[in-house]
């Protein structure tokens, strides 16, 4: 089962903070879903089932032909940020 | 002494017209953000669509590396946050990579070495970051460029082996025409994992990772530096720290970060890319496009009796090797063919700064010239001069021969009369010979060559000079 | 006839006979949009400038419509009803928008939704709640809340939404209108802000089955920008709407629709089942056989937790692009991590964050097998069961919901431990990509209720055909809010 400390760590890895009350709600939600998922684990024969990722697979999809097309203009690329220098997006210095 | 265990992760940018998952141009430019589609920016609502050519090239390389290939093409997401990763995930392959369990063989100092390939997969490059004094700038041109990653098993035991492996790999990329693989442009770069263990140890030592090394010489330097560094630590009875290190210009490595806990990338199958079947028909077609590779050619040349170093020189470049194969189809004089190609032709290519495909002299032209020498119609020296002239003027050597009416004088009667004239002109040298200095014969051959405008057959001339002088003794 | 009561055929005829211009229709729609905005809140953006540039004229040329605010519209603010995108103006067009634009359909506004389409109440939008126009003390449902409200109010004859669990088909039921989700891939998703890519469908609201068929005809087809889009089936869905349905066979799930399956059924449930049974009678009257089928309750009970698991997992990954770096409402910080933290902390509501934490948890290496992959296994089990049933039956018919639209506060998107099969079965349509349509079937307490028909993949034409015939047995075709609630 999960506790607040764990949940805080998960939130941090997802790059956000949550309010204290929300952790209470979330802990309850985890209780519920984990219990329900545990029951799912008991469904007869479930381990023999191949997980389904796509709603169906037709194998009709085609790969894209390797032809380049008109790109966005530089203005379009940068149109949704005011943080720009020399046609690039500016962020605080990234330290590796 | 410690046993060195090295594993490599090699990244290679594939040569395609468009990016891996968008139709933006795949090309290098200094102008930022000019080759960017919504997909490469990770804008809300975008969907990736896989580039057919990139898949073909990854599959081709997997086959060239003798890998097992999957029954269908699917991709996975690798989730992490970083400013150069606009979608917040990288599309890569984990579930069904294009290649698994492959191997590649090559010679290290004449000995065969086989490196096992753990897997080969197709993924996308990140945007590039330019670091300025107190901020960084993001350019999305590189975002989404098809990237192939090849991971070896930890089965490389020295810096030399690592470098030879990388050279072999690069030549496979070039032979298969999947990448330009220029390491100075970052088109081929590698991560090196290295650990040391005592001969008596049963488990690998602590692994140190060195990231993003471009030049092969840097790989060698970094490995050698690390072996020394880690040996010293172990000698002192201390422990090597598991960490990531970067390499500076003089080949020393510096700690970047210690590995705290492994990042969980929460891989799962990319649901936007519908699976595509990889039928035997497709696989066979791609396989048929793989040329005979470097190592197979080296072995073939060695079997023909060519020296290891010449075989390696010729096979290093597919076009040169193809030229050579065409050449030896048309002449039986393997020795001359090998020497002329490796010395005269390759030397001239270097001087003229052209590739062999741009050379005017075709393998057939060259073979014809070699045949003239084999048939003793031309002296080797004369033929070489003709070859140089032909390369310089871009004409068929046969044309030169025809125009200047060059032919070799091999007729003995004709030669003997010339030789007798020379004996009259050089009585001192004749006397010297008669007094026991055999070397003088060569001087006289030179005279014959001079007199005949190099058309005399030097071998026959020498033979006749000696016969005549012996008779005079 | 009054504009707001007109179906697409009526509007087409009025334009073609010059009795009204397309611009007049737009003005009427625009007026209605403004009129209802403060009470109901159907729009994030109302377009005030008429624009109709048909590249190829078709049945939708000149017809007003609305688009959910999670479709990329270049030059028009697109927020997904989230603070993190409150200033985001796209630079490219979603394929559906492009198709409608090229058809000369006239965009009236961008509809309010539950934030990032992750909710079923219409109450989590950054610009406030969307109310049910039939009764403003009740919610309309979501996530395509604004679209349902605008079609139910007659502001537009159709609206484009997205359906990941039931996000069009449920609000359609609560709004007394038609909600149709075609086969997965029938309509391109390019430009639809992803919630859960393997479950997301472009879907639509209309006031008749025929209008749903008309709009789908225009929107369907393969798109080079969406690898999961289907090759066009070349069918005209309108042409087959009136095919004879005599001998067609439908089933319903006993465990959800038979009152005997409930220990203590509420009055609402009893009334809902009664309404449903009336529809079954109507089906029989037009020659459709309806049979009861039993499905393992443990699988039915697993539907909702499996849906939560899969959709949250995909959502947490899909929304990782919302960091404020290259677009979005960046909140500054000293490092790039700070920017991401501040942007996401301020940009997402708490419900969204909880969903992301759950999604991320189930994908973690140590949990993936037991949680995410087990959910994917449930998905296959139910989908395979459906495929098996579709060998015998032409479709499944079910009440679209366990009752009428709830009052505000009665239901939230906080996870509950109740198993409500009747509230959650619509997700089967998303699990398997099945074509699925909700049509109004009457009223309880003066609020609309509906039935849903779901068919086998690729059989969009058959589902529309059956729905159209069933619609014909009732009097709710074309209804708008204020019509007599009988």
Choose the closest CB to B51 out of A60, A66, A88. A66
Is the predicted pLDDT of residue B259 greater than 70, yes or no? no
- Residues with Cβ within 8 Å of residue C134, at least 6 apart in sequence: C152, C175, C176, C405, C446, C447, C448, C481, C485
The domain tally of chain A equals 1
How close does chain B come to C135, measured CA to CA in Å?
34
Is A84 inside any structural domain? no
- Residues with Cβ within 8 Å of residue C342, at least 6 apart in sequence: C324, C331, C332, C333
The string of DSSP codes covering B429-448 is: HHHHHHTT-TTHHHHHHHHH
DSSP one-letter code for C87? T
- C484 confidence band (pLDDT: 50, 70, 90): low
The predicted pLDDT at position B261 comes to 64
Is the predicted pLDDT of residue C55 greater than 80, yes or no? yes
CA C183 to chain centre: 13
- Residues with Cβ within 8 Å of residue B170, at least 6 apart in sequence: B181, B183, B188
Q: What CATH number does domain B412-472 carry, 3.40.630.40, 2.60.40.10, 1.10.10.410, 3.30.1360.40?
A: 1.10.10.410
CA–CA distance, B36 with C178 (Å, rounded to integer): 40
Q: Residue A13: how many CB atoms within 10 A of its CB?
A: 17
Sorted by where each begins, the domain ranges of chain B are 3-284, 292-404, 412-472
Please judge whether B32 and A74 are an interchain contact, meaning their C-beta atoms are less than 8 angstroms apart. Answer: yes
> Where does residue B177 fall: left (phi above 0), alpha (psi -120 to 50 degrees), or beta otherwise?
left
Burial of B239 (0-12, 13-18, 19+ CB in 10 A): exposed
- Closest alpha carbon within chain A to C87: A80
- C282 confidence band (pLDDT: 50, 70, 90): very high
The string of DSSP codes covering B164-225 is: HHHHHHHHHHHHHTS----GGGTSEEEEEEEEEE-TT-SS----EEEEEE-SHHHHHHHHHH
Residues of A in contact with C184 (CB under 8 A): 55-56
Please judge whether A94 and B129 are an interchain contact, meaning their C-beta atoms are less than 8 angstroms apart. Answer: yes
CA B392 to chain centre: 27
Choose the closest CB to A53 out of B18, B31, B271. B271
- B469 confidence band (pLDDT: 50, 70, 90): confident
- The answer to whether A50 contacts chain B (CB < 8 Å) is no
Burial of C333 (0-12, 13-18, 19+ CB in 10 A): middle
CA–CA distance, B315 with B322 (Å, rounded to integer): 9
**Dihedral (C-alpha) B249, B254, B260, B261: value to the nearest 10 degrees?**
30
Average pLDDT estimate for C332-343:
97
Sorted by where each begins, the domain ranges of chain C are 1-486
Return the residue in C296, C356, C377 with the most chain A beta carbons within 10 A, the one to mutate for interface testing: C377
- Closest alpha carbon within chain B to A94: B136
Is the predicted pLDDT of residue B260 greater than 70, yes or no? no
Omega of the bond leading into C143 within 30 degrees of 0 (cis): yes
Topology of domain C1-486 in CATH is: Amidase signature (AS) enzymes (3.90.1300)
How close does chain B come to A7, measured CA to CA in Å?
15
- pLDDT per position as a tens digit, B271-326: 999 999 999 999 999 999 999 999 999 999 999 999 999 999 999 999 999 999 99
- pLDDT per position as a tens digit, B189-199: 999 999 999 88
Residues of C involved in catalysis: 68, 143, 167
Structure tokens that stand for B216 in this block: 């092969």
- Secondary structure of chain A in HEC code, one letter for each residue: CCCHHHHHHHHHHCCCCCCHHHHHHHHHHHHHHHHHHHHHHCCCCHHHCCCCCCCCCCCCCCCECCCCCCCCCHHHHHCCCCCEECCEEEEECCCC
- Secondary structure of residue C292 in the 3-state scheme: strand
- B258 confidence band (pLDDT: 50, 70, 90): low
- pLDDT per position as a tens digit, A25-48: 999 999 999 999 999 999 999 999
Q: Are C114 and C121 in contact (CB under 8 A)?
A: yes
H/E element holding C399? strand C395-399
Structure tokens that stand for C244 in this block: 């004879």
The predicted pLDDT at position B380 comes to 84
Q: Are B157 and B4 in contact (CB under 8 A)?
A: yes
Is A56 inside any structural domain? no
- Secondary structure of residue C280 in the 3-state scheme: helix
Is the predicted pLDDT of residue C485 greater than 60, yes or no? no
Average pLDDT estimate for C291-315:
96
Choose the closest CB to B47 out of C88, C225, C325. C225
Per-range mean pLDDT, top range of B243-257, C278-292, C470-484 = C278-292
Please judge whether A16 and C231 are an interchain contact, meaning their C-beta atoms are less than 8 angstroms apart. Answer: no
Please judge whether C321 and B88 are an interchain contact, meaning their C-beta atoms are less than 8 angstroms apart. Answer: yes
- pLDDT per position as a tens digit, C369-415: 999 999 999 999 999 999 999 999 999 999 999 999 999 988 777 77
- pLDDT per position as a tens digit, B411-420: 788 888 888 8
**Dihedral (C-alpha) C163, C166, C169, C170: value to the nearest 10 degrees?**
-140
The predicted pLDDT at position B470 comes to 85
For A72-76, the CB contacts below 8 A with 24+ separation are A72/B36, A72/B37, A72/B38, A72/B41, A72/C91, A72/C92, A74/B32, A74/B33, A74/B34, A76/C91
- pLDDT per position as a tens digit, B159-176: 999 999 999 999 999 999
Structure tokens that stand for B297 in this block: 């050619």
Residues of B in contact with C90 (CB under 8 A): 43-45
- pLDDT per position as a tens digit, B134-168: 999 999 999 999 999 999 999 999 999 999 999 99
- The answer to whether A75 contacts chain B (CB < 8 Å) is no
- Sign of the torsion formed by the C-alpha atoms of A26, A29, A35 and A38: negative
Return the residue in B21, B33, B47, B54 with the most chain C beta carbons within 10 A, the one to mutate for interface testing: B47
Structure tokens that stand for C418 in this block: 């109740």
The predicted pLDDT at position A73 comes to 98
Provide the ipTM. 0.96
- Residues with Cβ within 8 Å of residue C292, at least 6 apart in sequence: C251, C252, C254, C257, C258
Query: Is the full-model pTM beyond 0.90?
Result: yes
Return the residue in C357, C371, C459 with the most chain A beta carbons within 10 A, the one to mutate for interface testing: C357
> Which structural domain, as residue segments, surrounds residue A26?
1-45
Helix A4-13 crosses helix C350-363 at what angle (to 10 degrees)? 90
Provide φ and ψ at B238, rounded to 5°: -95, 175
DSSP lists the bridge partners of residue C439 as C451
Provide, rounded to the nearest whole percent, the portion of chain C with pLDDT above 70.
98
Q: Are C248 and C468 in contact (CB under 8 A)?
A: no
- pLDDT per position as a tens digit, C256-271: 999 998 888 899 999 9
- B461 confidence band (pLDDT: 50, 70, 90): confident
DSSP lists the bridge partners of residue C138 as C407
Q: What is the mean pLDDT of chain C?
A: 96
CA–CA distance, C372 with B271 (Å, rounded to integer): 14
- The answer to whether A24 contacts chain C (CB < 8 Å) is no
Q: How many CB pairs under 8 A join A and C?
A: 166
Return the residue in B23, B43, B45 with the most chain C beta carbons within 10 A, the one to mutate for interface testing: B45
- B185 confidence band (pLDDT: 50, 70, 90): confident
Residues of A in contact with C339 (CB under 8 A): 91-92
Q: What is the mean pLDDT of chain B?
A: 92
Is A7 inside any structural domain? yes
Please judge whether C92 and B47 are an interchain contact, meaning their C-beta atoms are less than 8 angstroms apart. Answer: no
Residues of A in contact with C375 (CB under 8 A): 37, 40
Residues of B in contact with C190 (CB under 8 A): 45-47
- pLDDT per position as a tens digit, B21-66: 999 999 989 999 999 999 999 999 999 999 999 999 999 999 999 9
Which residue has 């010489």 as its token pair? B217
- The answer to whether C87 contacts chain B (CB < 8 Å) is no
- The answer to whether A93 contacts chain B (CB < 8 Å) is yes
| Regions of chain A short of the pLDDT cut 50 | none
Structure tokens that stand for C280 in this block: 């079954």
The predicted pLDDT at position C418 comes to 66
Structure tokens that stand for B132 in this block: 């300025």
Nearest to B207 by CA among B259, B247, B254, B260: B259
DSSP lists the bridge partners of residue C204 as C160, C180
Nearest to C151 by CA among C121, C109, C120, C122: C109
Is the predicted pLDDT of residue C192 greater than 80, yes or no? yes
Structure tokens that stand for C471 in this block: 């619609």
The predicted pLDDT at position C340 comes to 97
Is the predicted pLDDT of residue C486 greater than 60, yes or no? no
């Amino acid at each position: 089962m999960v506790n607040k400390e764990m949940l805080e760590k998960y939130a941090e890895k997802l790059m956000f903070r949550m309010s204290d009350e929300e952790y209470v709600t979330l802990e309850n939600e985890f209780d519920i879903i984990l219990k329900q998922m545990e029951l799912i684990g008991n469904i007869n024969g479930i381990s023999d089932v191949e997980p389904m990722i796509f709603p169906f697979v037709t194998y009709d999809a085609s790969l894209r032909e390797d032809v380049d097309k008109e790109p966005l203009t530089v203005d379009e690329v940068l149109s949704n940020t005011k943080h720009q220098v020399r046609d690039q997006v500016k962020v605080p210095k990234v330290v590796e | 002494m410690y046993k060195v265990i090295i594993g490599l992760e090699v990244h290679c940018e594939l040569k395609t017209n468009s990016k891996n998952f968008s139709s933006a141009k795949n090309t290098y430019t200094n102008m930022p953000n000019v080759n960017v589609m919504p997909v490469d920016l990770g804008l809300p609502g975008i969907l990736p669509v896989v580039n057919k050519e990139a898949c073909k090239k990854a599959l081709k390389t997997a086959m060239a590396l003798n890998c097992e290939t999957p029954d269908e093409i699917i991709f996975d997401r690798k989730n992490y946050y970083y400013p150069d990763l606009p979608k917040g995930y990288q599309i890569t392959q984990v579930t069904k990579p294009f290649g698994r369990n492959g191997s590649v063989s090559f010679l290290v100092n004449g000995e065969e070495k086989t490196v096992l390939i753990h897997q080969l997969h197709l993924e996308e490059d990140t945007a590039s970051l330019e670091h300025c004094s107190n901020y960084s700038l993001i350019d999305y041109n590189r975002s989404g460029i098809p990237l192939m990653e090849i991971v070896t098993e930890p089965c490389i035991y020295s810096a030399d082996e690592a470098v030879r492996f990388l050279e072999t790999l690069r030549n496979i990329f070039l032979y298969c025409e999947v990448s330009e693989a220029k390491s100075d442009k970052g088109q081929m770069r590698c991560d090196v994992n290295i650990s040391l263990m005592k001969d008596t140890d049963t488990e690998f030592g602590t692994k140190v990772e060195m990231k993003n090394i471009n030049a092969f010489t840097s790989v060698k330097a970094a490995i050698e530096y690390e072996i020394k560094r880690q040996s010293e630590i172990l000698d002192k009875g201390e422990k090597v720290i598991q960490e990531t290190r970067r390499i500076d210009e003089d080949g020393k490595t510096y700690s970047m970060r210690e590995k705290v806990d492994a990042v969980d990338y929460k891989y799962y199958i990319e649901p936007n890319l519908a699976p595509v079947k990889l039928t035997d028909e497709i696989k066979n077609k791609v396989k048929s496009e793989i040329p005979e590779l470097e190592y197979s050619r080296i072995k073939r040349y060695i079997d023909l009796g060519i020296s290891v170093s010449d075989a390696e020189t010729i096979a290093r470049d597919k076009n040169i090797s193809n030229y050579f194969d065409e050449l030896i189809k048309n002449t039986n004089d393997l020795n001359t063919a090998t020497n002329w190609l490796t010395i005269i032709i390759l030397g001239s290519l270097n001087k003229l700064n052209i590739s062999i495909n741009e050379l005017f002299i075709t393998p057939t032209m060259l073979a014809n010239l070699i045949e003239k020498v084999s048939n003793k119609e031309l002296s080797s020296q004369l033929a070489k001069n003709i070859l140089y002239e032909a390369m310089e003027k871009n004409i068929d050597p046969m044309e030169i021969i025809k125009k200047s009416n060059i032919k070799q004088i091999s007729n003995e009667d004709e030669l003997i009369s010339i030789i007798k004239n020379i004996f009259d002109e050089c009585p001192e040298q004749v006397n010297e010979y008669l007094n026991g200095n055999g070397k003088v014969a060569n001087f006289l051959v030179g005279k014959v060559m001079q007199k005949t405008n190099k058309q005399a057959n030097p071998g026959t001339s020498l033979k006749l000079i000696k016969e005549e002088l012996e008779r005079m003794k | 006839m009054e504009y707001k009561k007109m179906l697409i055929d009526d509007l087409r005829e009025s334009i073609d006979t010059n009795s009204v211009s397309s611009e007049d229709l737009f003005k009427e729609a625009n007026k209605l949009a403004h009129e209802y905005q403060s009470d109901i809140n159907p729009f994030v953006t109302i377009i005030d400038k008429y624009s109709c540039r048909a590249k190829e004229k078709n049945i939708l040329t000149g017809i007003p419509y609305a688009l959910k605010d999670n479709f990329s519209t270049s030059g028009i603010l697109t927020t997904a009803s989230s603070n993190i995108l409150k200033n985001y103006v796209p630079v490219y067009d979603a394929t559906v928008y492009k198709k409608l634009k090229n058809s000369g359909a006239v965009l009236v506004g961008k509809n309010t939704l539950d934030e990032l389409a992750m909710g079923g109440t219409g109450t989590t939008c950054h610009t406030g709640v969307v109310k049910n126009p039939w009764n403003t003390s009740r919610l309309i449902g979501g996530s395509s809340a604004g679209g349902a409200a605008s079609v139910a109010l007659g502001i537009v004859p159709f609206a484009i939404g997205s359906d990941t669990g039931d996000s069009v088909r449920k609000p359609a039921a609560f709004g007394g209108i038609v909600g149709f989700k075609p086969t997965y891939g029938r309509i391109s998703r390019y430009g639809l802000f992803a919630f859960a890519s393997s479950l997301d469908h472009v879907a639509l609201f209309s006031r008749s089955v025929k209008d749903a068929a008309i709009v789908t005809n225009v929107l369907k087809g393969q798109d080079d920008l969406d690898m999961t889009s289907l090759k066009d089936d070349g069918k005209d869905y309108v042409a087959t709407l009136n095919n004879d349905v005599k001998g067609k066979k439908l089933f319903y799930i006993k465990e959800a629709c038979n009152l005997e399956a409930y220990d203590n059924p509420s009055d609402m449930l009893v009334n809902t089942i009664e309404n449903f049974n009336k529809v079954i009678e109507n089906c029989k009257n037009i020659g459709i056989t309806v049979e009861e089928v039993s499905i393992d309750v443990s699988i039915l009970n697993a539907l909702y937790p499996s849906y939560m698991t899969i959709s949250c997992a995909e959502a947490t990954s899909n929304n990782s692009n919302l960091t404020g770096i290259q677009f979005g409402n960046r909140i500054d910080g000293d490092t790039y991590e700070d920017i991401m933290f501040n942007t996401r902390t301020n940009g997402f509501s708490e419900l969204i964050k909880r969903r992301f934490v759950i999604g991320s948890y189930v994908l973690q290496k140590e949990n993936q097998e037991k949680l995410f992959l087990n959910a994917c296994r449930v998905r296959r089990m139910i989908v395979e069961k459906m495929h098996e049933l579709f060998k015998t039956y032409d479709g499944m018919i079910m009440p679209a919901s366990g009752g009428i639209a709830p009052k505000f506060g009665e239901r939230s998107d906080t996870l509950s431990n109740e198993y409500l099969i009747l509230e959650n079965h619509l997700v089967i349509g998303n699990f398997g990509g099945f074509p699925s349509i909700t049509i109004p079937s009457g009223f309880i307490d003066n609020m609309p209720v509906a039935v849903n028909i779901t068919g086998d993949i690729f059989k969009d034409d058959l589902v529309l055909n059956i729905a159209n015939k069933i619609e014909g047995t009732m009097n709710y075709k074309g209804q708008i809010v204020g019509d007599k609630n009988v």
